């Protein structure tokens, strides 16, 4: 099979969140599971791409891309990464910006990207059997394929999969851009119309052959208005093509036995290094060095969906205990402000670092004891899997992928973390305190950490599920 991923970001080139992690690791896992398949990825060439990677790209070709009256240059660069060909589409006017998204003309930028992907297939001489597009930024590639290119012989047989990584971000615009910017016809209005605007995610749901999301539970949740951000009606109509496949993580990138960023490496059979990582983390953050005090960590975008309202209700109470709380992340101003002041009130046992810092993140994953993820909703969530790899026990709200990946069985019951079912600050606090009690029982904790570290969060089984889905198409 020939498979083309279309996405707006990927590690290690340019990424802003979990989508990037998936696009940087799932293609390689597919290749490993099925070496005879030809797997390729296409994404924009951002101006802020890591220069070390930028240097490695090879220029292939270029083409003018026409969208209504616009006519724009598109260069094509490529690189083989983990046996997968990644294409980078170059147009400095659209992609040499300070950030990946959040620009005033995102609709135009990603319409250009999607049209270029489809237009370039003959130029790069790669007509995939499956075009697999991710999130709203790539939605138009499926819409163009279905509504504009499907009559052309070489395009007609391409089957499409659309994956929703987060239904909150849909790409919604006024109808005035339908023709001018998106180059769609009045007859396409139905396809993208949702409520009183043009909704690109909705259009891809309508046009794709299959729709997936990143955990089985989230696939059910988004059928309800509580989780769907307005798309439950459409998803009910197309429920037959909707399914959920749990993400995995890149076990090579997150490897406590090998990561050079850690003060000392460790392994499930030799955990002495983890104690060193904890001590060094306490020193680095200026916390009292106390091996017996549990460190509770959060590494998160500071937005409502991540359950931070619960933390704001319970944090002062929690910090009365013998515990150290470490929070790393950036986001909405009111949360940043709240956490800054929280750390100021609890100088002995709370540190808040308002940064996006990949190296410190790994040191926290490795040095902490507990990892808190109280997300209000979570399509999959990767941090609960990453912390597990570093022997840091997750405490999670039972929603979406958190529910699918973490099971609470009490301290000695064979689970791989602690969970709470209702979205309540006190239930969250209860779960954290349960975990801290277990932490004090050395023998039970050791067994739990072992179970947590050996839970299989690799891509192996999910990659097979994707391959089955592709084959069925």
* Contacts with ligand GLC, residue ranges (CB under 6 A): 17-19, 22, 165-166, 214, 247, 378-382, 401
Q: How far is the CB of 125 from ligand GLC (least distance, A)?
A: 30
Q: How far is the CB of 107 from ligand GLC (least distance, A)?
A: 21
Q: In the complex with ligand GLC, which residue's Cβ is closer, 248 or 294?
A: 248
Q: How far is the CB of 300 from ligand GLC (least distance, A)?
A: 11
Q: How far is the CB of 249 from ligand GLC (least distance, A)?
A: 10
Q: In the complex with ligand GLC, which residue's Cβ is closer, 183 or 404?
A: 404
Q: How far is the CB of 432 from ligand GLC (least distance, A)?
A: 21
Do 345 and 320 meet the contact criterion of CB atoms below 8 Å apart? no
Q: How far is the CB of 110 from ligand GLC (least distance, A)?
A: 17
Tokens for 195, please give them: 């409520």
Q: In the complex with ligand GLC, which residue's Cβ is closer, 18 or 367?
A: 18
Q: How far is the CB of 134 from ligand GLC (least distance, A)?
A: 8
Helix/strand/coil (H, E, C) string of the chain?
Answer: CEEEEECCCECCCECCCHHHHHHCCHHHHHHHHCCCCEEEEEEECCCCCCHHHHCCCEEEEEEEEEECCEEEEEEEEEEEECCEEEEEEECHHHHCCCCCCCCCCHHHHHHHHHHHHHHCHHHHCCCCCEEEEEHHHHHHHHHHHHHHHCCCHHHHCCEEEEEECCCCCCCEECCCHHHHCCCCCHHHHHHHEECCEEEHHHHHHHHCCEEEECCHHHHHHCCCHHHHCCCHHHHHHCHHHEEECCCCCCCCCCCCCCCCCCCCCCECCECHHHHHHHHHHHHHCCCCCCCCCCEEEEECCECHHHCHHHHHHHHHHHCCCCCEEEEECCECHHHHHHHHHHHHHCCCCEEEECCCCHHHHHHHHHHCCEEEECCCCCCCCCHHHHHHHCCCEEEEECCHHHHHHCCECCCCCCCCEEEECCCCHHHHHHHHHHHHHHHHCHHHHHHHHHHHHHCCCCCHHHHHHHHHHHHHC
Q: In the complex with ligand GLC, which residue's Cβ is closer, 17 or 216?
A: 17
Q: How far is the CB of 67 from ligand GLC (least distance, A)?
A: 28
Q: In the complex with ligand GLC, which residue's Cβ is closer, 86 or 218?
A: 218
User: Residue 417: left (phi > 0), alpha (psi -120 to 50), or beta?
Assistant: left
Q: In the complex with ligand GLC, which residue's Cβ is closer, 19 or 145?
A: 19
Q: How far is the CB of 379 from ligand GLC (least distance, A)?
A: 4
Q: In the complex with ligand GLC, which residue's Cβ is closer, 15 or 343?
A: 15
Looking at the DSSP assignment, which residues form a beta bridge with residue 408? 417
Q: In the complex with ligand GLC, which residue's Cβ is closer, 247 or 293?
A: 247
Q: In the complex with ligand GLC, which residue's Cβ is closer, 109 or 165?
A: 165
Q: How far is the CB of 385 from ligand GLC (least distance, A)?
A: 9
Q: Among all residues, whose Cβ is closest to ligand GLC?
A: 18
Q: In the complex with ligand GLC, which residue's Cβ is closer, 328 or 436?
A: 328
């Amino acid at each position: 099979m020939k498979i083309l991923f279309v996405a707006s970001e990927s590690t290690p080139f340019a990424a802003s969140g979990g989508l990037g992690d998936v696009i940087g690791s799932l293609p390689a896992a597919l290749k490993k599971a099925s070496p005879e398949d030809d797997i390729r990825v296409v994404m924009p060439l951002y101006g802020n791409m890591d220069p070390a990677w930028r240097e490695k790209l090879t220029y292939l070709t270029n083409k003018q891309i026409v969208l209504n009256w616009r006519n724009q240059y598109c260069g094509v660069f490529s690189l083989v990464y983990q046996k997968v060909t990644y294409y980078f589409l170059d147009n400095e006017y659209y992609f040499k910006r300070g950030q990946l998204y959040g620009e005033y003309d995102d609709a135009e930028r990603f319409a250009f990207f999607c049209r270029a992907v489809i237009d370039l297939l003959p130029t790069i001489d790669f007509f995939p059997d499956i075009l697999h597009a991710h999130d709203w930024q790539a939605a138009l590639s499926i819409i163009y394929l279905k509504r504009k290119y499907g009559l052309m012989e070489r395009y007609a047989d391409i089957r499409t999969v659309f994956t929703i990584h987060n239904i909150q971000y849909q790409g919604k615009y006024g109808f005035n851009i339908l023709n001018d910017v998106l180059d769609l016809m009045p007859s396409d209005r139905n396809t993208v119309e949702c409520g009183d605007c043009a909704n690109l995610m909705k259009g891809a749901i309508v046009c794709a052959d299959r729709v997936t999301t990143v955990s089985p539970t989230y696939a059910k949740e988004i059928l309800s208005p509580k989780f769907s951000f307005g798309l439950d009606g459409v998803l009910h109509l197309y429920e037959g093509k909707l399914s959920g496949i749990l993400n995995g993580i890149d076990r090579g990138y997150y490897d406590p036995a090998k990561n050079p960023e850690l003060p000392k490496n460790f392994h499930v059979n030799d955990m002495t290094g983890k104690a060193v990582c904890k001590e060094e983390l306490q020193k680095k953050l200026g916390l009292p060095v106390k091996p017996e005090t549990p460190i509770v960590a959060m590494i998160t975008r500071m937005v409502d969906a991540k359950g931070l309202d619960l933390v704001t209700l319970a944090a002062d109470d929690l910090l009365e205990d013998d515990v150290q709380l470490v929070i790393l992340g950036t986001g909405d101003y009111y949360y940043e402000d709240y956490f800054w002041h929280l750390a100021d009130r609890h100088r002995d046992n709370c540190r808040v670092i308002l940064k996006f810092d990949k190296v410190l993140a790994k040191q926290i994953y490795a040095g902490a004891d507990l990892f808190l993820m109280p997300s209000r909703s979570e399509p999959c969530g990767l941090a609960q899997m990453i912390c597990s790899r570093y022997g840091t026990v997750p405490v999670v709200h039972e929603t979406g992928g958190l529910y699918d990946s973490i099971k609470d069985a009490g301290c000695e019951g064979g689970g791989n973390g602690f969970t709470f079912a209702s979205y309540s600050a006190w239930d969250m606090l209860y779960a954290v305190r349960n975990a801290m009690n277990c932490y004090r029982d050395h023998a039970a904790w050791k067994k739990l950490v072992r179970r947590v570290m050996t839970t299989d969060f690799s891509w192996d089984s999910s990659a097979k599920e994707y391959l089955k889905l592709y084959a069925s198409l």
